[in-house]
Chain A
Amino acid sequence: MMISHELTTWSILLFLLAATILGLGGLLARKISIQTKGCVLMAIAFVLQTTSFFLGFHKSFQGGLSAGAYLQIFAWFTALTGLIFWLKLKQRTALTFAAPLCAALFAMSLPYMEQTIVLPKTLQSSFYILHIGFLFTSLALMAVSFIASSLFLFLERRIKSKQRIKGFLQDMPALSVLDTINKLCILTCFPLYTIGILSGLLRSKPVYGATFSGDPKEIVSLIIWALLAFVFHNRLAAAWAGKKPAMTMICIFLLSLFSLLIVNTLMDSHHSFTAN
């Protein structure tokens, strides 16, 4: 049987779109069985994407990472995080909301897959995989935390202000569950992000001549790290729960999106996707 890169890519996108339609459709129509089917399709898309990585279809690994590859890896880690929450906490909603995000990231990646950034030899080492891997895992955790936090704030506001929770909102996880998801994301995201940043800073000296070169990406990343450290500390030491960590995680995720979509594409940085 012929398995091509193109066929796999389109199959993954198809599964992600079907998972989005069934997941959100089931959620809105309050049909658990349909929503669960969406989650199963999401799991299939994840397995396919993982297989495609192992089969080396991800061309971008050969000479560096393209903007498309970045987005696909981000989608993969987001799907992984959603799957973990589905299987461990029995929360379909996390995966249901991860599905459209993954589908959008995957679809957006396709036009940019061929724009491979040829990395300097100094960056073509295992440290680079470590750097990217840890940062993208934490980015995926931030994405899931963003979804959980947004839902938490929305539902909390309704409960506090005594507004009725109608329709599909009745099937959303309880506030405590959303807060637990947020907590787990923060507790795993901060150490992973720290390793990602440290691996980058340590490698920066031999490559760019300085540990910190004032690159816009480095500045934004350090701000994100500081915010993560702040929320991580407060969750553990000051027993932060509920609204405050939710609002902080929303800010952190939006800043990370700014870093990925604006700094990497529009600003002059040695992390720029436009470099050739």
Chain B
Amino acid sequence: MDTSIYLVGLNHRTANVDIRERFALANQCSQQLWAIPCSEQIRENIILSTCNRVEIVASGQSKTVDELLETWAKARNAPVEELKPYVYTYAHADAIRHLFLVASSLDSMVVGEPQILGQLKKAYKQAAQAKKTGPILNRLLHKAFSVAKRVRTETQVASNAVSISYAAVELAKRIFGDMAQHKAMLIGAGEMAELAARHLLHFGIQELFVANRTFARAQALAEEFSAHALPFESINETLPKVDIIITSTGSTDPIIRARNIAGVLRQRKNRPMFFIDIAVPRDVDPDVNGIDNVYLYDIDDLKEIVEENLSSRQDEARKAQKIVEDEVTSYLAWLKSLEVQPTIVDLIGRHERIANEELTHTLRHLDPDKILALAQASPENSKAELQNLLEPMLKAIVHKINHEPLMYLKGESTHLGQIERINTIRNVFGLK
């Protein structure tokens, strides 16, 4: 069988954002055409189009890649020559490996990010609904999903935060545990602080307060987060109420000083406080970290954590590559088993046909009345009569089934040597 698996694509490494936008397929396909139309060359295909990559996986003949590229370029009204410099092409084992790496988020810009698996699942669902997938890609994609799951459970590739806002929230969880019993305050409105607030809400923070020098901005943010807006001046009186404080103001002087925190802690009965200072220059006096039950992380501390986590993800990615290799081998073994499938079907069909022909021939010469009369007169005689009928049939079947192997053995249909032919037949039929 000459059908193979091919993958063509471009990603954040081979093409800049302009090119990725130019050749994106996400919004170019109608609901009914979530994949390239199948043809003689392309038997099955799936399009994965995200902001960081566009990839087409297909099963088909040797010219599949050319047809895929032409169709892709045509869909974006561009000559194929414009597309080619940015495209990578993988075939067979390399294509399978690349797809598994993508599904496991080992080929992502941020290794271990979880979105890609969801995007791949969506792409597969759409292709399947458009009836553009068959046994090979169905199996391949299900395998890719299970590889991604294995990588996630058996390695720590996705376990540590790789964004500053998420790292801050993870630290908050290490201090407070269940977020549902704690309150947070956002002071200022930087992008990262907003993102951290969003993560806190995602983890179920009990209550969120937003303070800003421009009260209208605080109100707008509070509305967005279902939080309470505060005037900037009321920060100090709100401090005893909140456990997590995220600051990102443009102030040149610290807005929270260590000398004020001792009193706040007394009011809080020494319950811990966590300050996340994302502002530059810093909003929180660094001495705050020296106070018992108060924790302070600034932007540099968080950056350091993120860098360490990124490097640890790279180490884990190396472990994950081994899992991917195992799974590629396993998928190739299944694919190989598909190649012998037609021969198995033909062989069994041939033997069934011989048996049916002989059975029809035997039944044609059978006289039921004679058998019945014999059975009534003497069961022994009817048994002997049946044996007389069946024996030639079985001999004929055995003879016909063995005809081709015997021809092969005698060397009449092959150029192989005698010893080789004898060994083959003895092995096939299990002769000692």
Of all chain A residues, the one with the shortest Cβ separation from B312 is A166
Task: Please measure, in the bound complex, the distance between the C-alpha atom of A164 and the C-alpha atom of B308, giving whole angstroms.
Answer: 8
Per the bound structure, the CA–CA distance linking A40 and B173 in Å amounts to 27
Query: Is the CB–CB distance between A159 and B292 below 8 Å?
Result: no
Q: How many A-B residue pairs have CB under 8 A?
A: 50
Given contacts A241-B269, A242-B292, A243-B292, are A162 and B304 in contact (CB under 8 A)? yes
User: How many residues of A sit at the interface, in one of the four size bands?
Assistant: 20 to 34
User: Does A225 touch B at the CB level, under 8 Å?
Assistant: no
Q: Closest residue to A244 on the B side, CB-wise?
A: B292
> In the complex, what's the smallest C-beta–C-beta distance from A188 to chain B, in angstroms?
20
Can you list, as one digit per residue, whether each of B280-293 has a CB less than 8 Å from chain A (1) or not (0)?
A: 00000000010011
Contacts of A160 in B (CB 8 A): 289, 295
Decide: A176 near B176, CB < 8 A? Known: A164-B308, A241-B293: yes
Residues of the B chain whose Cβ atoms lie less than 8 Å from the Cβ of A133: none
Distance A7 CA – B104 CA, assembled complex (angstroms)? 51
User: Among residues 210 to 224 in chain B, which have CB atoms less than 8 Å away from a CB atom of chain A?
Assistant: none
B402 at the interface (CB under 8 A from A): no
Q: Could you tell me if B289 and A242 are in contact, using CB atoms closer than 8 angstroms?
A: no
Residues of B within 8 A of A241 (CB): 269-272, 293
Indicate with 1 or 0, residue by residue over A80-124, a CB within 8 angstroms of chain B CB atoms: 000000000000000000000000000000000000000000000
Residues B350-372 near A (CB distance < 8 A): none
Which residue of B has the minimal Cβ distance to A169? B174
CB proximity of A139 to chain B, nearest CB, Å:
27
The answer to whether B177 touches A177, judged by C-beta atoms less than 8 angstroms apart, is: yes
* Complex contact A165–B301 (CB within 8 A): no
- A239 lies within 8 A of chain B by Cβ: yes
Q: Is A240 an interface position by the 8 A CB rule? A: yes
Mask of B301-313 contacts with A, CB within 8 angstroms, 1/0? 1001100100010
Contact, CB under 8 Å: A175 / B174:
yes
Query: In B302-328, which residues have CB < 8 Å from any A CB?
Result: 304-305, 308, 312
- Is B175 an interface residue when CB atoms closer than 8 A count as contact? yes
A93 to chain B, nearest CB (A): 12
Q: A211 contacts the other chain (Cβ, under 8 Å)? A: no
**Bound form: Cα–Cα A91–B368 in Å:** 80
Cβ of B297 within 8 Å of any chain A Cβ, yes or no, is: yes
Taken residue by residue from 228 to 254, chain A's Cβ proximity to chain B (1 for < 8 Å, 0 otherwise) reads as 000000000001111110000000000
Check B272 against A176 for contact (C-beta < 8 Å): yes
**Given A159-B295, A170-B159, A175-B177, 8 more pairs with CB closer than 8 A:** A159-B171, A159-B175, A160-B295, A162-B305, A175-B176, A241-B270, A242-B270, A244-B292
Binding site for B on A (CB under 8 A): 155, 159-160, 162, 164-166, 170, 173-177, 179, 239-244
5 residue pairs of the A-B complex, CB under 8 angstroms, read A162-B297, A174-B174, A174-B175, A175-B174, A239-B269
